[in-house]
Each structure stands twice: as C-alpha cells, then as structure tokens.
A and B are shown apart, each in its own frame.
Chain A
Amino acid sequence: MITDIQVDDHGRHRHFLTTEGLSAKAIGEILDTAESFISVGEREIKKVPLLRGKTIVNLFFEASTRTRTTFEIAGKRLSADIININTSVSATQKGESLLDTVRNLEAMHTDLFVVRHPVSGAADLIARSVPNHVHVVNAGDGRHAHPTQGLLDMFTIRRYKGGFANLKVAIVGDVLHSRVARSQIHALTALGTGEVRVIGPRSLLPFAVESLGAKSYTTMAEGLAGVDVIIMLRLQFERMSGALIPSAHEYFSLYGLTPERLALADPEAIVMHPGPMNRGLEIASEVADGPQSVILPQVTFGIAVRMAILARLAGAAGTETKSP
C-alpha cells in the first residue's frame, strides 16, 4: 500500500497535498508564520527575500482567478520567480501526458509546482514523480483536496474566534463535490474543533461523510442551531452528473443562507465562503455583504497563508515539523 508522502523521513514538509494527517502543531506553525507575513502585505515594500532565486511554476489545468492570483502574489512577495501556465486538460490529453508536461517543466529547473487539476489525485501523482528537491503544492485536485484554502479558512477562524476547542462549525451545501470541504474537515478535526457539522441535501453529502469526523444534517434549522462559524460552499454544477437536486430555486429555498437562517446561529457567528459565490443560489446578498461576513478578509489572508506554505516547503533550510 502506498502512503502519505507530504512529509519526509526527517519530518520535513516536502509537499503540501492535503490537510489529512497534518498535526495541530504543524497547522499552528503555518498559521503563526502566516500571521508574521500579514504585515509584509501592509508595508510600502511588500517583499521578503525568502525564496529569492527560486522558480515556481503555477500549473493550472482548471480555470481559477482567486487561487492562481493569490499564489502568484504570495510567490512574488517571497521574491521567487513565478511562471503561470494555464492549460486545459483536453489540450494536454491530445498529446502529452500529465507527467510528461511536468517532466518538461522540471527540466527547466523548476523548484516548486503549484498544481490545480480537475482530477482527484493529480497533485499526489506529480509529487510521487518529481525528484527529491522539487516541491509540489496542491492548489485543488478534483473533489479531493484544496489544502491551502483549508488552512486559510483555519487562519480566518482563528483570527475571529481565537481558538477551535469550543467552536461549532457548519459547512453547508455541496459537500459531495467539494475539495474545500474535505480539506476543512480534516483541518478542523486535527485542531480539535468542538463540533464539525455538514448540512445539505442527502444527495450532495458524500456516502461516508461521518467517517471524516463530521456530523451530518439535512435541514438548516437543525444544522445551524447555535453554530459559531458558517462556511457556505459553492454549488458545483459543472461537476454534477445526474439528478442530484431538483432546481436552483428549490435548493435556495431549503439551503440558501438568508438573514432569517443566519439568525439560527450564534449572534456572533461569522459567515465564510471559499468563492466564487453564486449569489441568490447558496447565499443571499444581504448575508454575503453583511456585517457577519468575512468573505473578503479570507482572500487577503489567503496570500499570507500561501506565503507561509511556500516558505515552509522551499525556504532556505526547510522547516522542521517534529510531529508531522
């Protein structure tokens, strides 16, 4: 059986592929480093020399604005050279295989790949094929994982709520197709979150979602009661096949986050969304733009968290994690 390869035999983080298996300590270190990078973005000269001379390739096989841009900014603020490659899977499938594409870029002395791919496991496959000194960061693979998003969400929660132990966190919507939800659930459980809930129609909750450590609910009334954090997920029509929900209208009437539903949660609850949002489909504009929304700060924090992860992997000495 093949095993996790993110952490090497010396406990160093080689790749960042999933939040599964990360310790609370490792996550804490990344979030602490991210805190220290927040100020970099607020300075006149928004650069630190940690990755000077390193080459990062953003290899995106799937459209992305937010993730690709924040990775690019994160890399530049660390003084790395960044190359963006946007390509569609169909174009590469015609000729070159995924690994051939990667090998060619590797031959150009790339130090770190940031990979987004529509198929689960693509980043893992690449990480297993690159030489020892090359690092891979997963920027989203199929339905599997989006670990940097997962950690920026943890950063956001920690910023607004202080800690995790006494929190009730609800993840709402299309969990089935969501790599973000999986990365959040692993991180939240590692951090000892009081209660992790998923809410959605049964047809959009994965078969064995409770085995990940989340309690499942099919109604907002029950699921949102008293929660401290609400994370809304995008309805991913492009990944849906078959009859999963009757209509967008019915979905919003049952699972859309409206001011009335928000009132079911703790009065201090924060509302998050990994983006891009479908306003009026999973979230009402009043809520998205309302005082409890932290959706835009999430994006800002995303840069600092991605800087922390890039620096952890490719920074001069590599960062020790004693308990991976």
Chain B
Amino acid sequence: MNIVISGGRIIDPSQGLDQVGSLFIHDDRLVGFEAPPGFSAERTIDARGLVVCPGLIDLRARLREPGLEHKATLESETRAAAAGGITTLCNPPDTTPPLDNPALAEWMIDRARQLGAAAVLPIGALTRGLSGTHLADMHALHTAGCVGVGNAYAAIKDTAVLRHALEYAAGLDLLVFLTPEDPWLGAHGIMHEGRVATRLGLAGIPASAETVALSRDLILIEQTGARVHFCGLSTAAGLALMAAAKERGLPVTADTPIHQLYLTEDDVGFFDSQCHVRPPLRTLQDREALRTAVAEGVIDAVCSDHQPHEEDAKRVPFSNSEPGIAGLETLLPLTLQLADLGILTLKDALARLTAGPAAILGRPEGTLRSGRSADVCIFDPNTSWTPEPASLRSRGRNSPFFGKPLRGQVILTLKNGHICYEKSAANKATTRDRAPG
C-alpha cells in the first residue's frame, strides 16, 4: 500500500532532521520525503500539528511469555508497545524457561511477526539456564535472531565464568547485556540504602552494589574487548565510571529506565510498592546526574524497563512485592517531558529512543532513511492524557504514574508499513485488524 504522511513535523535524529514535510511509504518501505515518480497514495494521513518520527526502539521490556502468561502475553504487550509508539523491543532472557535455546528465540520472533505489532528482538541467555556457570550456545542463539546475549538480573558471580563468557562473545562479535548489581551487596536489599530505607526499616541496596559490579565488569571488558551494553544505571558514581570508560575508548554503552529520571527514594513515601523497582530509586543527586548523563550522551538510550504485573503482585508488603513498572505506554510522554524540562532538545530526547538504541544494537531500525522498513510513530506533542490502569493496553496494572497527567499522545504507529495502532480506532482496542490485507 502507498501511504503518505503529510504536513507533520518530521524529526529524525539519525539524519539530524527536524522539518515540516511529508513522508512517503510504499508497502513495507520508506521511500523518502518527496513523492517518487508515479506515486499515488492509497491513504493520506494528515499529520498537521503532529510529530512524525521513527518507530521507537525499547531496549528492555519483559513480555512475560513464556512462563508468566497470567501477567501478560506477547500479544497484549506488543500491542501495548505499538500504542506507545514502540515498533521494536528487546526482551530479556529471564523468561520461564530461560531464553537459552534457539527454538524459543525463533518462536518469539515469529509469534511477534504474526501479531504484526512491535517486533521482538530476544536477548539470548549468556549462560545456560542463566545459571552463571556454563556458557549458553551463543552462536546458535544469535543465528536464531537474538540481538545479543545477557544474564538479566542473574549476576554471574564467578569472575572466571564472566571472563570466558566475554571472551567467547567478543570472538563472535556479539553484544553482551550486563546488569551491574553486585550479588552480595545487593543480596537482601529491597530499596536504596539511604534516608528512606533507614526510616522505613527496609534493607538497603547501597550505591556500591552498582559501582563494585561495574568496576569489575569494566576491567574484564578492557581485558577481553567484548562489546557490552550496561542495563539500568542508577547512580551518579556509576555514571562517573561509565563516562571514564567511554573516555578510555572501551566498547561500552548504557541505558537507564525512564522512571529513574523522574522518581527518587522519597517517592517510596510510606511503602509505596509501585515504586519498588530494580535497580532501586536512588537519591535526588543521582537523578540529577542521570539527567545530565542522558543529555550529554553518557547514557546512550532510555528504555521503559517494562515489567507488567497483576494487581496482587503489588498488594503485599513492600519487601514482598514484585519489582517493576509497566512502562511501555508512558515511555514516550515521559521522554518528551525531558525536553519540556529543558534537559535536552526534543530531537535529542527522541534520539535516545530511536537512533541511540539502534546504534547500540547495530540495527537498521530507528531511522526514517529511504529504503528502510517503514517503522513510524506519529504523536501529538500537545495533547495531555492521564494514564489509568484501565486505559493501558498493557496487561500490567502497575505504575506510579497512574493519575498523573502526561503530555504527548501517540496517534498512529506503523510497523513495516502496516498501521498497527491508530488512536481513532483505539476504543475498539484492535490494533492488528487495521493492517491492510
């Protein structure tokens, strides 16, 4: 189908572009900002007053399938992603069973493709069963379509195993995802070790849980030459280590979950389990350092760190609650708010959700370049809306942002040239059916 998106403010950070114009799509491809010879649009999308940007890439979203389908499914969450303007997302390997075999990775990719909303790029297991003892079949996982390998929250305690895993991955030029959290310092902790944890009598996770792990990992990266992406930095001290590592030229990148740029330990208040996240919410100083790091590019990408839960998972005492926020549909508006706050320009804010993650993953998505797949997000930067449990397409019922007005609403999402979300059809809650036959 030929589609023209006309009159929108086209922002494509990958090309340094911010201009009003039209975007032309032929079947599943982008074909440029000028109508190709003989182009006749079957659908014209009026984007006047709207922003047109590449479909967003979310580096970390747990979809809960397989294994935890009572929380969410590939179907529910890839559609929620589309409603949030996300067209590509990475799924960590801590599914049940863990993502350590190629068949599971292939199934996940195919299933998402059939559903026709956001594409899923699985992150394969770095060690078998996430055990931290035996290497997983990384090459097979990569061949099956895994975008890289990692061990999710399961720390690799044995330094020799980590070293060999990094060596092996480096030999295959695989991207390794590491979560910097020292398994001993973080062992019993439930929130940031600070004033609030002291007040509430909750066991703390010190900032050093991040810096000790990060320091160890950086030394092994220097030794092995592995390409590593660090998931979820949360501390000012960790950012300083990351900045220094980049300065030294190490092949490292990093992200932070968007909620870390807004919330602090104080938001836990009186045991608000919606603010139970991992890594924990840190101090105001840490949050300010994270904002600066996102602006300066020490943090290459922000992500949703989407972790959908049923209501009951949070209706227990704080320490017993499951960590995480259902964040797919609030990722874009919260990122736009960074521009409103003057932390970075709108174009740079969008870069952290498009060109930034694409560069980390070495993927062709995250751009509006001619010839690339037509993954496009169209949003209204001025409309405010208030997320509520019932208004989310995600099955997740957990967010500290419920009831708080956010500015910026997705109007339409295209995946491979198919409309996989359109706001006017939103009430029908069908996104797939809009795809043309």
Closest A residue to B190 using CB positions: A120
Interface residues in B197-226 by Cβ distance below 8 A to A read 197-204, 206
Among B195, B267, B319, contact of A121 (Cβ-Cβ < 8 Å) = B319
Asked whether, in the complex, the Cβ of A120 is within 8 Å of the Cβ of B195, the reply is no
A158 to B316, CA, bound (A): 37
Stretch at the interface among A63-71, A201-209, A287-295: A201-209
Given contacts A207-B204, A207-B206, A209-B198, whether A5 and B270 have CB atoms under 8 Å apart is yes
Closest A residue to B204 using CB positions: A207
Q: Please, which residues of chain A bring their CB within 8 A of the CB of B316? A: 97-99, 125
- Bitwise, A178-215 to B at CB < 8 A (1) or not (0) is 01001000000000000000000000001111011000
A2 within 8 A of B: yes
Asked whether, in the complex, the Cβ of A182 is within 8 Å of the Cβ of B201, the reply is yes
A173 to B272, CA, bound (A): 29
B12 within 8 A of A: no
A312 within 8 A of B: no
Given contacts A98-B316, A143-B201, whether A3 and B269 have CB atoms under 8 Å apart is yes
Chain B: number of interface residues, binned into ranges: 20 to 34
A121 to B316, CA, bound (A): 9
Q: Please, which residues of chain B bring their CB within 8 A of the CB of A144? A: 200-202
Q: Interface residues of B: mostly helix, strand, loop or mixed?
A: loop
Q: Please, which residues of chain B bring their CB within 8 A of the CB of A98? A: 316-317
Given contacts A3-B269, A4-B270, whether A125 and B317 have CB atoms under 8 Å apart is yes
What's the minimum C-beta distance from A120 to chain B, rounded to whole angstroms? 4
Asked whether, in the complex, the Cβ of B195 is within 8 Å of the Cβ of A208, the reply is yes
Q: Please, which residues of chain B bring their CB within 8 A of the CB of A143? A: 201-203
- Bitwise, A106-143 to B at CB < 8 A (1) or not (0) is 00000000000101111011000100000000000111
Q: Please, which residues of chain A bring their CB within 8 A of the CB of B320? A: 119
Given contacts A4-B270, A20-B199, A207-B197, whether A97 and B312 have CB atoms under 8 Å apart is yes
B168 within 8 A of A: no
A129 to B316, CA, bound (A): 11
Asked whether, in the complex, the Cβ of A121 is within 8 Å of the Cβ of B198, the reply is no
Q: Please, which residues of chain A bring their CB within 8 A of the CB of B188? A: 241-242
Q: Please, which residues of chain B bring their CB within 8 A of the CB of A2? A: 269-272
Closest B residue to A178 using CB positions: B201
Q: Please, which residues of chain B bring their CB within 8 A of the CB of A1? A: 266-267, 269, 272
Q: Please, which residues of chain A bring their CB within 8 A of the CB of B203? A: 143
Q: Interface residues of A: mostly helix, strand, loop or mixed?
A: loop
Among the interface residues B193, B271, B318, B319, which one has the most CB atoms of the partner chain A within 10 A? B271
How many interface contacts (CB-CB < 8 Å) are there between A and B?
A: 87
Asked whether, in the complex, the Cβ of B201 is within 8 Å of the Cβ of A142, the reply is yes
Among A3, A120, A207, A242, contact of B200 (Cβ-Cβ < 8 Å) = A120
A3 to B270, CA, bound (A): 6
Among B198, B206, B270, B271, contact of A212 (Cβ-Cβ < 8 Å) = B198
Q: Please, which residues of chain A bring their CB within 8 A of the CB of B297? A: none
Asked whether, in the complex, the Cβ of B198 is within 8 Å of the Cβ of A206, the reply is yes
Among the interface residues A122, A209, A241, which one has the most CB atoms of the partner chain B within 10 A? A122
A171 within 8 A of B: no
A141 to B202, CA, bound (A): 11
A308 within 8 A of B: no
Among A20, A121, A129, A209, contact of B318 (Cβ-Cβ < 8 Å) = A121
Among the interface residues B199, B204, B270, which one has the most CB atoms of the partner chain A within 10 A? B270
What's the minimum C-beta distance from A7 to chain B, rounded to whole angstroms? 13
Interface size on A, residues (CB 8 A): 32
Closest A residue to B268 using CB positions: A1
Asked whether, in the complex, the Cβ of B267 is within 8 Å of the Cβ of A117, the reply is no
A220 to B270, CA, bound (A): 33
- Bitwise, A207-239 to B at CB < 8 A (1) or not (0) is 111011000000000000000000000000000
A145 within 8 A of B: yes
A179 to B201, CA, bound (A): 7
What's the minimum C-beta distance from A264 to chain B, rounded to whole angstroms? 27
Q: Please, which residues of chain B bring their CB within 8 A of the CB of A208? A: 193-195, 197-198
Q: Please, which residues of chain A bring their CB within 8 A of the CB of B199? A: 20, 182, 211-212
Interface residues in B161-206 by Cβ distance below 8 A to A read 187-188, 193-195, 197-204, 206
Asked whether, in the complex, the Cβ of B270 is within 8 Å of the Cβ of A120, the reply is no
Asked whether, in the complex, the Cβ of B193 is within 8 Å of the Cβ of A207, the reply is yes
What's the minimum C-beta distance from B281 to chain A, rounded to whole angstroms? 11
Asked whether, in the complex, the Cβ of A119 is within 8 Å of the Cβ of B319, the reply is yes
Asked whether, in the complex, the Cβ of B194 is within 8 Å of the Cβ of A121, the reply is no
A124 to B271, CA, bound (A): 8
What's the minimum C-beta distance from A236 to chain B, rounded to whole angstroms? 12
Closest B residue to A175 using CB positions: B198
Q: Please, which residues of chain A bring their CB within 8 A of the CB of B134? A: none
B315 within 8 A of A: yes
Q: Please, which residues of chain A bring their CB within 8 A of the CB of B271? A: 2, 120-121, 124-125
- Bitwise, B245-275 to A at CB < 8 A (1) or not (0) is 0000000000000000000001101111000
A208 to B188, CA, bound (A): 17
A241 to B312, CA, bound (A): 28
What's the minimum C-beta distance from B404 to chain A, rounded to whole angstroms? 11
A206 to B199, CA, bound (A): 9
Q: Please, which residues of chain B bring their CB within 8 A of the CB of A241? A: 187-188
Q: Please, which residues of chain A bring their CB within 8 A of the CB of B318? A: 119-121, 125
Q: List 6 A-B contacts (CB under 8 A).
A: A97-B316, A121-B270, A124-B270, A207-B197, A207-B198, A208-B198
In the A-B complex, list the 7 residue pairs whose CB atoms are closest, starting with the nearest: A143-B201, A144-B201, A121-B271, A206-B198, A119-B317, A120-B201, A208-B198
Instruction: Given A125-B315, A211-B199, output 14 extra A-B contacts at Cβ < 8 Å.
Output: A117-B317, A119-B319, A120-B201, A120-B317, A121-B319, A142-B202, A143-B202, A182-B199, A182-B201, A206-B197, A207-B204, A208-B194, A208-B198, A211-B195
